[in-house]
Each structure stands twice: as structure tokens, then as C-alpha cells.
């Protein structure tokens, strides 16, 4: 697949250094077509490649249990930067940096940012190297550019699906954000976490557009879910079984809070949170999702019952206000 750096030499070097004999390759959905090519790279070293066919949406989901059950002595996890600290199976992260030029897309964004002077710049891990290129274009156009560094992410300006600390850290200092990268997912997260006007510069389509209407639509959907959940008397509290999504303590707190408010709450554990897996419990009126918060936000239309984030549940039971939740972020604790 053109346009991404798969660091093939580093993979070969790490396999040799560790003397790995069986290597589990884990790719997010968009990069899975590259699995065959990467398996051949592993084969050349003399190790046995196994490609994980399970879905993988984030660095929270390193296939540690799967590697152990397959007897793999190395995991190569593609497309995300390191998030989890674990020592059970050696793991290397290949961030799959995009090699695409972003200049044209950033130039397309300038008219959409004409009202603003102070711009916050953000991107996903694939484009962290080109943030400076974006900064230069904006600065030449007379903008003041700020790139946030909360110390929580691998790189300044980087956001992930559920960590927007780098943009939240500078939200009070900027008038709008420019997100460099493809797709709506991360840019929506920027808009929802900061409540600031957000523009995407998409280098894959060489175009720029505002994400604000889409973000507003999600905010309205979330409010509707909260309203619907106010009549719920039995909650299903979902515990994610993926390593970086398992928050048992949070789930227990939710269960206690629900009971304190006179409601019943039951713990449900799931690896994949889909309508098929969680809607099989007719006694549950609404769910509280302590696993991947983006499921509540981005897939809300797929569920026939409310699937609340933790912060939204606090609004439902009156422990927090909607205004505070919007300020804090719909999905970040
Ligand atoms: S919890 Fe969800 S949004 Fe966060 S890294 Fe995992 S898959 Fe991405």
C-alpha cells in the first residue's frame, strides 16, 4: 500500500534482535490489505507470521491474550502509537506514518479559517511529522499557531480516538482548530472535546471543510439519549474486555451510583460492543459504556436503547450538569 511507512527494516531488525519465531501481526481495518505483504517480510526472517483477522480500532486493543494463546513471541501492532504498558509479550508499534503531502489541503483550509487568528493545530499519529509544514503555511497567512502538548501523548499535537488532552490543553488560547488528516473521526473528537470551530484539511482528497454541523448533530443525539435514559430503572454497565478498555473500578462506581439513586444496575462484560452483543438483555432499559467511549458517540444510531458514556450517565442521575459535561468533554473522564 502506497503512502504509508511500514518500517520494514525495523521489523526485520526487531525480529532478529529478539530471536522471535512466531510473530502476530495486528493491523487496523484500513491497513489490513497490507497484511500479506507484511507477512512475507516476516517469513523472510525465518519466523512464522500470523495475521490477526479480528477488528482492531486502537492501541487500547493490543492482542496480548491472542498472542499468548497462539504461542507468539512478538506482536507487531500497526497504525497506532504505544498506549499500554505491559510486559507479557514483546510488542513493537509501527505507527504507519503517512508519506502524503499536506500543503494543498492546508491551503484549502485558509478561507474557512479567515475569521480566526489564533489557530490550534492537531493531527493523528500518521501525520505528526507534517504538523510543522501546516504550521508554516498558517503562519505565512498571518495566523498565530499553537500546538498543544499535555505530556500524555507520544507527540505534541497528536490526538487519538479518546485522548484529546493536547487540544484541550490549548482550547482557551485559540479561536479555532485545524485538524490535518483524513476522515471525520479524529476531527469530530477535537470539536466535541473543545466546543471550538474545527476545520479538517484532508490531504487524501486535497480538500478542507468544517466539521461543526456534524459535531452539533452528535451533541443533539447525545442529549436525546440522556433524555431517554432518564426514565430508565435498570442499567447495564458495560465492562470492555480489551486490555486498554477494561475499567472495572469505574464500572463498580457506576453500579453503586445507580443503586444509590434507587435504580438497579448489572455488570455486562463484552469484547466487541455491538447491538448483537449487548441488546440481548430485555431487562436493561439503558446502558452505561465504560469501554470505548466512541461507540456511544459514533455508533449511537445503531443501538435501539441509550448507550451512555460515563459523563452522560452522571447527567442522567443529576450528579453533573449538561453544561459541565460539554465543557469537560462528552466522553473523557
Ligand atoms: S478506547 Fe476506543 S477511541 Fe480509545 S484508543 Fe481504544 S478504540 Fe480508540
- Ligand 1 in reach of 166 Cβ (< 6 A): no
Tell me the pTM. 0.92
> Are β-strands 97-98 and 4-5 bridged in parallel, bridged antiparallel, or unpaired?
antiparallel
Query: ∠ CA(122), CA(125), CA(131), 5° rounding?
Result: 45
Query: Diameter of the chain by CA atoms?
Result: 62
Question: Residue 146 in contact with residue 173, Cβ under 8 Å?
Answer: yes
CA of 31 to the centre of ligand 1 (A): 17
Highest mean pLDDT pick, 76-90, 188-202, 295-309: 188-202
pLDDT of residue 48: 98
- pLDDT of 239 reads 97
- CA–CA dist 333, 162 (Å, integer): 10
Query: At residue 245, does pLDDT exceed 70?
Result: yes
Q: Does residue 191 line the site of ligand 1, with CB under 6 A?
A: no
What separation in Å is there between the alpha carbon of 261 and the centre of ligand 1? 30
Q: 3-class DSSP state for residue 17?
A: helix
How far is ligand 1, taken at its centre, from the CA of residue 83, in Å?
A: 10
Give the pLDDT confidence score for residue 85 in this predicted structure.
83
> How does the average pLDDT of the chain come out, rounded?
95
Q: Where are the beta strands (DSSP E) in the chain?
A: 4-5, 22-26, 48-51, 74-78, 91-94, 97-98, 118-123, 144-146, 176-180, 198-202, 207-210, 234-240, 264-270, 286-289, 307-308
Residue 83 alpha carbon, nearest atom of ligand 1: 5
The protein residue with its alpha carbon nearest to ligand 1, atom 3, reads 161
Rounded distance from Cα 245 to ligand 1 centre (Å): 8
Q: Is the pLDDT of residue 2 over 70?
A: no
The residues that bridge with 179 in the sheet, in sequence order, are 122, 200
CA distance 112 to 276: 41
Amino acid at each position: 500500500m502506497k503512502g504509508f511507512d511500514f518500517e520494514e527494516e525495523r521489523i526485520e531488525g526487531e525480529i532478529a534482535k529478539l530471536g522471535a519465531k512466531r510473530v502476530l501481526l495486528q493491523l487496523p481495518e484500513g491497513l489490513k490489505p497490507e497484511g500479506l505483504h507484511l507477512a512475507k517480510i516476516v517469513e523472510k526472517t525465518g519466523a512464522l507470521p500470523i495475521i490477526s483477522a479480528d477488528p482492531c480500532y486502537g492501541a487500547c486493543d493490543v492482542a496480548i491474550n491472542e498472542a499468548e494463546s497462539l504461542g507468539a513471541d512478538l506482536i507487531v501492532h500497526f497504525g497506532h502509537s504505544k498506549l499500554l504498558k505491559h510486559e507479557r509479550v514483546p510488542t513493537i508499534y509501527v505507527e504507519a506514518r503517512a508519506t502524503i503531502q499536506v500543503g494543498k489541503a492546508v491551503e484549502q483550509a485558509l478561507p474557512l479559517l479567515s475569521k480566526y487568528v489564533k489557530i490550534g493545530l492537531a493531527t493523528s499519529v500518521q501525520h505528526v511529522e507534517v504538523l510543522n509544514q501546516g504550521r508554516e503555511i498558517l503562519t505565512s497567512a498571518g495566523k498565530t499557531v499553537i500546538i498543544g502538548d499535555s505530556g500524555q501523548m507520544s507527540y505534541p499535537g497528536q490526538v487519538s480516538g479518546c485522548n484529546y488532552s493536547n487540544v484541550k490543553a490549548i482550547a482557551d488560547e485559540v479561536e479555532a482548530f485545524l485538524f490535518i488528516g483524513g476522515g471525520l473521526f479524529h476531527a469530530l473528537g477535537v470539536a466535541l472535546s473543545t466546543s471550538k470551530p474545527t476545520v479538517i484539511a484532508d490531504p487524501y482528497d486535497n480538500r478542507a471543510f468544517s466539521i461543526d454541523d456534524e459535531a452539533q448533530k452528535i451533541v443533539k443525539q447525545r442529549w436525546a439519549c440522556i433524555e431517554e435514559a432518564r426514565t430508565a430503572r435498570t442499567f447495564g454497565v458495560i465492562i470492555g474486555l480489551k486490555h486498554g478498555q477494561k475499567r472495572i473500578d469505574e464500572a463498580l462506581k457506576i453500579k453503586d451510583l445507580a443503586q444509590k439513586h434507587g435504580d438497579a444496575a448489572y455488570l455486562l462484560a463484552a469484547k466487541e460492543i455491538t447491538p448483537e452483543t449487548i441488546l440481548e438483555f430485555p431487562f436493561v432499559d439503558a446502558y452505561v459504556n465504560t469501554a470505548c467511549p466512541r461507540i456511544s458517540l459514533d455508533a449511537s444510531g445503531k443501538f435501539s436503547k441509550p448507550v451512555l458514556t460515563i459523563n452522560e450517565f452522571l447527567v442522567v442521575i443529576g450528579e453533573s450538569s449538561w453544561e459541565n459535561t460539554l465543557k469537560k468533554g462528552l466522553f473523557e473522564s
